[in-house]
Structure 1
């Protein structure tokens, strides 16, 4: 039994060895194949990573374009509110005005640093919007729309050189597509981990244009109801609102899904204005409500009114940005930042002596100030000329007084005008002629007085206007004339500076003129 058992055990063991030879050979074959394939697998993985994370370019050598021009540009006053700068792409493409070259971008950031500017993160900027406290002597918030790959390959090394921060506004549905035009999520992750970048919302897939009517006219799909060709009709309000809400929510989910903080700010696609869309008033308010529900504020480069960062922008939930293009040189950037800086009424010095502080409106030809002061004659066929005084710097004005002298008034054919609270929701227009003065409100919600007064006929009148959030009071030649009182709206809705105008439709073509103007 023992001998038979031993023999049986040996036979069984021999049988197992013979049966296991194919398995052993297969295992050895797999190991051999893996060893042979390992270099190729590693190369494939490296190539995939390279495609997902492009190589970065080195910052340009110091002393690039624009260095010498920086000296003649003065920075903004030290206590200015932050200005939001709007970039798109950084790189060598010279076909688009929205692509800033690497050399110019480096020169711009160097000019900002040398002028004492500091860049803000989104958290710091939204803290300013919430508290109203200026976050430092001179600050800017750098924003980049669309999420192009140039932010990683070209812009990021320059930010690192100057120790600056920026925010990228992503079209989340485009991330990782059309490579190498858009960023990949891997690049976004590296940028976020650097501490130099944060990421905000620019829609999921609503940054495009499509037909909005049967004729095929194309506009932004975000701010317009679309033409449904298969059904021969325009989207209903309900369909539009559902589509936009779904797009905004998907954009937020995409950012959160990639371990990024919830976005606080939103940039309108194409910076298109709502008053130029096919939305009615209810749809417009519904869109604004959706944005207010999801974000602290929205950005646009083309608002219907001046809205630089400040209390009035916070009140309406929208902030205007200063757009930077390939033609923006460092000195020009500093001049624009100074132009955007808030100015106090008491700091205004001889406004009629500074042509550069006036911005023509309507069809007024440049330079506008000469038409208002009589130093230039309007071209033939012109009946009206007007200009705003520093519309961005005075956008937050709520209390001020103007003293102006108007001459050259003639009959009933010409007049001079002063618009108070210019650019606000509730502007007030004063018109002064040889015999009369009248005050009218232009805002949609105004329910205040609309009045005028008779004047002693004269070619020259002295005008005093006192503006507060609650009223606009006018005196002419030292005598009270008329007052318009405010409705029950927040003071920020009536914040704004002033504009001047002259009008002449008489056969004599005799133009009135402003001979003096003081602000206090």
Structure 2
């Protein structure tokens, strides 16, 4: 019976399946064993991959550039350093510039007559103060993101321009496709359009710097060692930073690239905002000076655009370019940064846009210095800098000013020359006295005074040369100050004006005229 045949046939079929099951289990075991190796191989391939480049956008695609992009800034004698991060379609980060904006920016630079510098040419400028032509920019890109290869490089090729990538060397080839791979970097270097500089090895991160858990850059701060309940000692911090800098340089050289000449601070954090004491901060500066020609930052304690003053202190300030920067906006900023000669300043009070107001008010222009507008209630002091970026390297000029509204000892006016330098000199003029005060490192300084014929109005002349500042009031020599043994560039700088009113009458003095010669 067929029903009796069924049980008899089952054992034979089970015996036939067993070899197949054993084979399947063997294959499965092999696959499980091989899986980690397969994943590792795929990750390594991705890490070493060279992404496909995108084509440059069609010309004319910049939103917000307009006709102003054709405007030509003045021909400065020093390059402006531009700081980019990433180029690409990501509109979530303000640090990612769109491909269309980047193309329009380079097109505007080319049309305005700018040439890009290589790092070698830029460091040559820091050494000699000479550039190949009047209008130059140095393009820098922090972090080493993949957008430099996939998006930025084809645009550089279109306009025949150069740039420098500041690499976090320990991140190259990781978190793909966010960071560049070494093969991509090799192709970029071979193109002649790129060179590569230092941005730490693995110190571009934030971590706790105190017991409360406040996080800051681990490069410019001593870390909090939670397991030990203490901060790094100065020696531990210095050893850690020295090891990181040296490993960054060795990694670049090991991949066939020249030893880096420049270093960009992570996050552009300033040393005066870190938990380093004065000795540790100076130790960090010393470590950087030993290894690099100069450092770059977007956030300087004082204006330090590329020029003799920046070269003297070894730190150069950059103009940051973000997602919202249009081609027209970039050219406007370049005009603000490009150096101006004293002979071109003329009568500065007639150009309100050239002033940067400081002190108690955010009001733009010199109106509160001239009496055209009144300072806010409760304000006792107002100051304004004249083109602080464009005048950072002034060493020879004369100011002639007329002031009025002086009253007793309750108010006065001031002029600071060498503004923003390590050695500013400040003049204060009142109803019947004038004083000249110098400022130097670690609080060192000097103060000299002279008596004036009492008057509500005075005529002031301030002569600035590389080695002295001489003051005359109402045609008579008042006082003078001779520079110390520092380098001329360390005392270079333009000027600022201020007015003060400490009296109950609220009678403000004012500058009625100002001329630069």
TM-score (norm 1): 0.89
Rounded to whole Å, the distance in 1 between the matches of 2:274 and 2:44 is 45
Cα distance in 1 between the residues matched to 2:74 and 2:506: 43
Instruction: Output aligned runs, 1:123-162, within 5 Å.
Output: 123-162=120-159
**CA distance in 2: counterparts of 1:427 and 1:73, whole angstroms:** 38
Cα deviation 1:187-246 (Å, max 9, x = unaligned)? 111111111111100000111111111111111110111111111111111101000000
Question: Is the Cα–Cα contact under 8 Å of residues 87 and 143 in structure 1 kept in the other structure?
Answer: yes
**For 2:416, which of 416, 419, 424 is the aligned residue?**
419
| Correspondences of 1:418-437 after superposition (within 5 Å) | 418-437=415-434
What is the distance in 1 between the residues matched to 2:93 and 2:380?
38
| Aligned match of 1:321 | 318
Is 2:181 the partner of 1:188? no
Counterpart pick for 1:57 among 30, 54, 65:
54
Q: Which residue of 2 aligns with 1:170?
A: 167
Please give the per-residue CA displacement for 1:454-488, whole angstroms capped at 9, x wherever unaligned.
22221111111111222211111111111222222
Q: Return the match for 2:306 from 309, 313, 319.
A: 309
Matched, 1:499 2:496: yes
CA distance in 2, matches of 1:46, 1:428: 60
Question: Where does residue 229 of structure 1 map in the other structure?
Answer: 226
Q: Secondary structure at the match of 2:55?
A: coil
Distance 1:70 1:173, change over 3 A: farther
Tell me, in whole angstroms, the C-alpha distance in 2 between the residues paired with 1:482 and 1:131: 35
Aligned to 2:380: 383
1:84 is matched with which residue?
A: 81
Counterpart residue number, 2:481: 484
1:246 counterpart residue number? 243
Alpha carbons of 1:420 and 1:51: their partners in 2 closer, same or farther (altered >3 Å)? Answer: same
Shift of 1:411: 2.1
1:94 to 88, 91, 95: 91
What SS is found at the alignment partner of 1:437? strand
RMSD (Å), alpha carbons: 1.9
- Output one character per residue of 1:75-126: Cα deviation in whole Å (capped at 9) or x when no partner: 3333521111000011111111111111100100000011111111111111
Residues 73 and 385 of structure 1, relative CA distance in 2, 3 Å threshold = farther
Which ranges of structure 1 fall in alignment gaps of 5 or more residues?
A: 1-40
Counterpart among 452, 457, 460 of residue 457 in structure 2: 460
- Tell me the CA shift for residue 390 of structure 1: 0.7
Match of 1:332 among 329, 332, 336: 329
With over 3 angstroms needed to count, the CA separation of the structure-2 counterparts of 1:105 and 1:68, relative to structure 1, is closer
Paired with 1:49 and 1:477, the residues of 2 have a C-alpha distance of: 75
CA gap of 1:363–1:93, structure 2 versus 1, over 3 A, is farther
| Greater Cα offset, 178-187 or 245-254 | 178-187
**Residues 83, 321 of structure 2: 8 Å contact kept:** yes
Q: Which residue of 1 aligns with 2:343?
A: 346
Residue 449 of structure 1 and its aligned partner are, at CA, apart by 4.2
Match of 1:264 among 247, 250, 261: 261
Residue 282 of structure 2 corresponds to: 285
Task: Please report how far the alpha carbon of residue 69 of structure 1 lies from its aligned counterpart in structure 2 after TM superposition.
Answer: 2.3
The answer as to 2:213 corresponding to 1:216 is yes
Q: Give the distance between the partners of 1:356 and 1:230, measured in 2 at CA.
A: 54
Q: Give the structure-2-normalised TM-score.
A: 0.89
**Farther-moved stretch of structure 1 (77-86 vs 401-410):** 77-86
CA contact (8 A) 1:413 1:505 kept: yes
Match of 1:35 in 2: none
